[in-house]
Chains A and B, each alone.
Chain A
Amino acid sequence: MASNAAPVPPPTPALAGGSAAVDAARSAGAAELAPVEMGSATGKLERAQALARDGKNLEARRLAEEAAADAAAARAKAGAERSRRAATEAESGVASLRGPAPSNTPRP
């Protein structure tokens, strides 16, 4: 499509950024806690790497950038999910403390 425009440079920085973002999301447990976004990120990163090998630099850069954005969303959603679970657990702990307290010991 851009045959007579300036040649698109190799998307090396975008690929590196996408790869780093995917790694960070994986370390944050996103594969388990935000599987949809994480699947999108890894799939796009792989396609970006393949496109870059074929010299399709513009498409490769875009996919790598989208992979990084997917990974950022995955990482944030994983954090939110982990915090949601922690909040639920803490609140159910409080609820059980509030429950009927055993008062079998005598009072004057």
Chain B
Amino acid sequence: MPMTRMTCRRTATVLVALAATALTACQTLPLDDPELAAARTAVAQARADDQATGVGATDIASAEQALQGAEAAWKDRDADEARHQAYLARRHAEAALALGQQARFDARTQQAAAEGARLRQEAATREAAARQAELHFASDQAGLTAQARRLAARVAAALQQYPERRVRIEGHADSRGSDAGNLRLSQRRAEAFRQALQKAGVDAARIDVQAYGESRPTADNATAAGRCENRRVELLVSNGEGRFDAAR
């Protein structure tokens, strides 16, 4: 049927000419469509995102189905349906990507929360340590060392900045000697530091003194090093409400 073939070829020529002159018209199909191309890009991007494929699996499935519909419609030369399906595909791909982003942000929030809890714990530990100081004494002596006097000056300066805080001085002794003697010795040690603080300008009303004798050792009294540890005063600075509980 040579006549028919001739007719077909002529029609095809006319179509090609139309396509070349009227790319934006709906009746003729250009080689590709921006909406379809954008949908392919968006779906590929979502598919390549490891978070989106997890939390956005449903949207990716919708996007892929719509993209297939768009490609099929495009082949069938139904440009309106192709663009419609491509639009759906792009929007669902966007949704999947957003869900993936959300998962990443949520992970960052969780990490920050854990980090914050750790830092707050560290700060609390540091503050408790900073509010407690120890000073040591020679055997059977209650005289302050030079270091102790320097500390008294620093404590006095700090207390001036924080008028709501109080200090408690606790005196201790090692186990050598009698209990009664050690109680008196520990009292003299605490009083010595109290005098140093008062001399440095701290109001006596803000200072508590407590003597414990040998009753609260922090180290082994059987060794010289341990006894040295035990011959001490402990200095506690209160919190802002005047309480000492967090220091212990």
- A residues touching B (Cβ–Cβ < 8 Å)? 37, 62, 65-66, 69-70, 72-73, 75-77, 79-80, 82-84, 86-87, 90-91, 93-94, 97-98, 101, 103-108
* Listed stretches B131-139, B188-196, B203-211, B218-226; interface member: B131-139
* Residue B171 is within 8 A (CB to CB) of chain A in the complex: no
Q: Which single member of A62, A83, A107 contacts B105 (CB below 8 Å)?
A: A83
Q: Does B113 contact A (CB under 8 A)?
A: yes
12 more contacts with CB within 8 A, not counting A83-B105, A83-B106, are: A72-B92, A73-B98, A75-B95, A76-B99, A83-B102, A86-B109, A91-B112, A94-B112, A101-B126, A105-B237, A106-B158, A108-B133
With contacts A73-B95, A93-B112, A97-B120 taken as known, whether A106 is within 8 angstroms of B59 at the C-beta atoms is: no
Question: Is A69 in contact with B106, judged by CB distance below 8 angstroms?
Answer: no
A66 near B87: Cβ-Cβ < 8 Å: yes
7 nearest A-B residue pairs (beta carbon): A83-B105, A69-B91, A90-B112, A76-B98, A76-B95, A80-B102, A87-B108
Select the residue from A77, A103, A105 with max chain B CB neighbours within 10 A: A105
What is the number of residues of chain B that contact chain A, defined by CB distance less than 8 Å? 44
Q: Does B154 contact A (CB under 8 A)?
A: yes
**Bound Cα distance A90, B113 (Å):** 6
Q: Which residue of B lies closest to A66 (CB)?
A: B87
The answer to whether A73 and B94 touch across the interface, beta carbons within 8 angstroms, is: yes
Which A residue sits closest to B156, measured CB to CB?
Answer: A106
Show the binding face of B for A, using Cβ within 8 Å. Answer: 56, 59, 62, 80-81, 84, 87-88, 91-92, 94-96, 98-99, 101-102, 105-106, 108-109, 112-113, 115-116, 119-120, 123, 126-127, 129-131, 133-135, 151, 154-155, 158, 161-162, 235, 237
Q: Which of B98, B101, B123, B130 contacts A105 (CB 8 A)?
A: B130
* CB-nearest residue of chain B to A1: B80
Q: Give B120's nearest chain A residue, CB to CB.
A: A97
Question: Which residues of B sit under 8 angstroms from A98, Cβ to Cβ?
Answer: 119
Most buried by A among B80, B84, B133, B151: B84
Chain B's closest residue to A108 (CB) is B133
Residues of chain B with a CB closer than 8 A to A75's CB: 95
Which of B94, B123, B154 contacts A97 (CB under 8 A)? B123
Q: A101-B123, A106-B158 known; A73 and B92 CB under 8 Å? A: yes
Cα(A49)–Cα(B120), bound, Å: 56
- Shortest A49–chain B CB gap in Å is 18
Q: Inside 8 A of B94's CB, which chain A residues have their CB?
A: 73, 76-77
In the docked arrangement, what's the CA distance between A86 and B108, Å?
Answer: 9
Q: A72-B59, A101-B123 are in contact. Are A106 and B235 (CB under 8 A)?
A: yes
Inter-chain CA distance A66–B87, complex, in Å, is 7
Looking at the complex, which one of B98, B116, B127, B129 makes contact with A93 (CB distance below 8 Å)? Answer: B116
**Inside 8 A of A65's CB, which chain B residues have their CB?**
84, 88
Specify which chain A residues have a CB less than 8 angstroms from the CB of B113 in the assembled complex.
90
User: How far, in whole Å, are A66 and B90 apart by their CA atoms in the complex?
Assistant: 10
Contact of B99 among A80, A84, A90, A97 (CB under 8 A): A80
B contact residues around A79 at 8 Å (CB): 98-99, 102
